Amino acid sequence: MSPSGPTHDAIVIGAGFSGIRALWELDQLGLRVKCLEAGSDVGGAWYWNCYPGARTDSEAWVYAMNFTPDVREQWDYKERYPSQKEVQGYIRRVADHYDLVRYIQFNTRLTSARYNESDKTWTVIDQKGNATTARYFIPATGPLSIAKEPSFKGLKNFTGEWYQAASWPKDPVLFEGKRIAVIGTGATGVQIIPKLASAAKQLTVFQRTPNYVLPGRNYVIDESQAAEIKKNYAETLGRAAANPYALAMTFSGKTIRDATDPDSVRQILDAGWESGGFHFQFETLDDLFVSPESNRIASDYIRQKIHSIVRDSAMAEILCPKYPFLSKRPPCGHFYYEAFNRPNVDLVDISRDEIEMYEGGIRSTSGQGQWKFDMIIFAIGFDAATGALSEIDVRGKEGQSLGDLWARDVQTFAGVLVPGFPNMFTVCGPHIQFGNMPVILDLQMRWIGKTIRHMNDNRLIGIEVSSEAAGSWCIHLDEMFQKTLFAASAKETGSWFVGANIPGKRSAPLFYFGSVQSWLSWLEDEARQAWKDMNFS
């Protein structure tokens, strides 16, 4: 222990939405703060994922930080679903406006973080071996920041170019005249595919599991719409606060029992389909997540839509998911199914056939197919929720490894605190309520700020959640997850909601699917009851 105490009050890891939100909160508290960021600019996921077609799946007016009324007022809204460039620009503007960049050390990757029991501080070490000590360790490393490695056999022999969507090069990549393969048809692949369909000479999509892709129905926001967004901001935020997933959408109040005839059901679903994006799942039938009947009707509806858009019926059938809608997070598409009508676009079903690479391209391991490519793009997903922190050597009390612990069982209290890891607050980590993250993590950081203020006011220097409180939360989280329809299929569909997309990863819910309101009540109750489940020192 240094005689003068730690060099900082708090160290934040990551300068994406959650890191910037954390810096603002800690700055308001007047703390000595430092942030380490691996990239050369702010943005987090929105810095790295600059692949063609990258844009939000949430609408611009709600994919925003609530603490920024000045920025909001001046912001030049461009599209319903902002592009990666626009979102990163927005995060940069927020960081500049509130003078938060001065806290950030860019191009710095954290390699280890260790809790020091003797003085209740954390020491973090970066890739150059530099150490920083702080009272609070606040990882804001993102739920989807560690891309799955393309560990395909033979990749090293491939002589063409290959890229991972999640670490897309900052220099332009040229597609014209090239034969390109895209592997992966999650939200990322679904955004890349239509872009490349119109740029490449030949595009071949390798699909293992199809998704229910909802039409985004993006549009350019004109001046009067921008003025309307600004005028309605309070109402929009109110709607987001009341929505279980923090989206500015309002449940229809109808379930399958209210819609007595097929025509009225169809009208409801048509309206959702035409509204675009997540309106289909939140403003049609309120029981889509829990009623097998309601879900089956919506699943059939989307399958029919796929067949009505994709002219080649065999291809359409391959694109039709066979599992229930919402078992996996539905992507938002921008002329996704339409891309498969182009003569230069092909679809390969690899649900029963593994693939590997050779010098000239890709072949199936069964020997049934072989394709030549100039470029391969991997959009194969992320090691969600626990991936980023498990990659860093994080050690809590008695040298306990967080990665080892989470490999066996993820224990948290409401996705904020972990028993055995005092003074560590995770932002947007495992067990956070699932949904529109900028709004959700804002609520989370407010609670963390309130807790630190309570500690400062009471001259407390250590906080650790009790194992009992974390245990109760985890039981509740699991109970809420089991109520969803996708609990039964999440493992078999390889959903990242439960870590089932990563070979060898323990399958268990990584997010809370209760509601924002219910999740927040756990945190707020705790504060109201004087943090009774916390051991302070």
Least separation in angstroms between residue 223's CB and ligand N01 is 25
* Smaller CB separation from ligand N01, 139 or 184: 184
Q: Of the two residues 36 and 490, which places its CB atom closer to ligand N01 in the complex?
A: 490
**Which residue number, 208 or 307, has a Cβ lying nearer to ligand N01?**
208
Which CA distances in Å does 427 have to 55, 97, 317, 445, 506? Answer: 22, 22, 41, 7, 22
Question: What's the closest the beta carbon of residue 206 comes to ligand N01, in angstroms?
Answer: 6
| Closest to 36 (Cα-Cα) out of 105, 84, 121 | 105
Residue whose CB is less far from ligand N01, 141 or 501: 501
Residue 195, amino acid: K
**Residue closer to ligand N01 (CB basis): 8 or 329:** 329
Q: From the CB of 279, what's the least distance to ligand N01, in Å?
A: 15
CB of 537 to ligand N01, least distance (A): 38
Q: With respect to ligand N01, which residue has the nearer C-beta, 351 or 401?
A: 351
**What is each CA distance from 30 to 10, 26, 500, in whole angstroms?**
11, 6, 42
The least distance separating ligand N01 from the CB of residue 71, rounded to whole angstroms, comes to: 21
Q: Which is nearer to ligand N01, 358 or 536 (CB)?
A: 358
Closest separation between CB of residue 349 and ligand N01, Å? 11
Task: Quote the least distance from Cβ 59 to ligand N01, whole Å.
Answer: 11
Helix (H) or strand (E) holding 308: helix 292-309
The SS3 assignment for 11 reads strand
Using the minimum distance from each CB to ligand N01, give the nearer residue, 48 or 103: 48
Q: Cα 508 vs. chain centroid, distance in angstroms?
A: 17
Provide the residue type at 407 as one letter: A
- Determine the length of the chain: 537
Q: How far is the CB of 496 from ligand N01 (least distance, A)?
A: 5
The two three-digit tokens of residue 525, written as one number: 């109750």
DSSP string, 319-360: HS--SPTTSSPPPEESSHHHHTTSTTEEEEE-SS--EEEETT
Residues at the interface with ligand N01 (CB under 6 A):
55-57, 144, 183-189, 191, 208-209, 329, 350, 379-382, 494, 496, 501
Give the three-class secondary structure for 3. coil
Which residue, 109 or 491, is less far from ligand N01 as judged by CB? Answer: 491
CA dihedral 523, 524, 529, 533 (to 10 degrees): 0
Q: Which residue is nearest to ligand N01 (CB)?
A: 186
Is the dihedral angle over the CA atoms 220, 225, 231, 232 positive or is it negative?
negative
| β-pairing verdict for 332-333 and 214-215 | parallel
Coil vs helix vs strand at 181? strand
Which three-class secondary structure string do you get for 92-133?
HHHHHHCCCHHHEECCCCEEEEEEECCCCEEEEEECCCCEEE
**Residue 467 CB, nearest approach to ligand N01 (Å):** 31
Best CA proximity match to 91, nearest among 21, 26, 11, 22:
21
Least distance CB 191 / ligand N01 (angstroms): 6
Q: Smallest Cα–Cα separation from 407: which of 292, 499, 475?
A: 499
C-beta of 188 vs 218, nearer to ligand N01: 188
Three-state SS annotation for 375-435: EEEECCCECCCCHHHHHCEEECHHHCEHHHHHHHCCCCECCCECCCCCCECCCCCCCCECC
Q: How far is the CB of 209 from ligand N01 (least distance, A)?
A: 3
Nearer to ligand N01, 60 or 265 (CB): 60
The separation between CA 18 and the C-alpha centre of its own chain, rounded to angstroms, equals 11
Task: Select 469 or 510, whichever has its Cβ closest to ligand N01.
Answer: 510
Query: What's the closest the beta carbon of residue 261 comes to ligand N01, in angstroms?
Result: 34
Residue placing its CB nearer to ligand N01 in the complex, 175 or 497: 497
Residue with smaller CB distance to ligand N01, 6 or 277? 277
Determine phi and psi for 463, rounding to 5 degrees. Answer: -140, 135
CB of 244 to ligand N01, least distance (A): 17
Query: With contact defined as beta carbons under 8 Å apart, do 106 and 37 qualify?
Result: yes
In angstroms, what is the C-alpha Rg of the chain?
A: 23
Task: State the minimum distance, in angstroms, from the CB of residue 384 to ligand N01.
Answer: 8
CA pair distance 342, 196, nearest whole angstrom: 11
Asked whether the beta carbons of 388 and 399 are under 8 A apart, the reply is no
Q: CA 126 → CA 36, 113, 519, distances in Å?
A: 8, 9, 33
